[in-house]
Amino acid sequence: MEYLMTYGWAILVIVVIIALLVYLRIFNIGQRVADRCDLPVGFTCTGMKLTDDSFTVTIGNGFGEKINICAITCDNTINADGVDAISTTDCDEEGEYLASLDPGRNANMTSLGGCTDSSGALTTVGSRYHGKLFVQYMVKGDSGTARIVEGNILATVQA
């Protein structure tokens, strides 16, 4: 009987300590998950920074030809069909584009305006954002509207 009482108190103390650590959010694993960005085959996303009014991503070209990145946006309320496509005449060699990437090259790109969550609200500093990244691009010879690919973002919004 003495054996059960001694170990019973020890187990009770351990349970109380674990409960206290959980209450103090020591085990908040969700905040410890690294920021990440995933794009479809042909693109790489090697880094990003998300703030409440802009976001910066490093995108690489894994295609065998040069591409122009026309625009990047992040939004969690639409899919690729809902993105307003940019005309390729606005994103050609003489037009405006965020970056022109040769095969195997990377570039940092910044988009102003922040990201929206599933309710349509802009992200706030300190919150975790899990949403979609849309990259509009074109290759030489494209006409009409830019091609659009959809990726995923998981990041903490920084100041």
What tokens were used for 29? Answer: 């694993």
What tokens were used for 102? Answer: 């040769």
18: left (phi over 0), alpha (psi -120 to 50) or beta: alpha
What tokens were used for 77? Answer: 């309320």
Q: Where residue 55 falls among pLDDT bands split at 50, 70, 90?
A: confident
Q: Which residues, 6+ apart, have CB-to-CB distance to 158 below 8 Å?
A: 49, 50, 51, 125
Section 76-81 average pLDDT: 70
Average pLDDT, the chain: 82
Q: Where residue 125 falls among pLDDT bands split at 50, 70, 90?
A: confident
Q: Which of 38-47, 112-121, 135-144 is modeled with the greatest confidence?
A: 38-47
Q: Of 57-61, 87-91, 99-103, 125-129, which gets the smallest average pLDDT?
A: 87-91
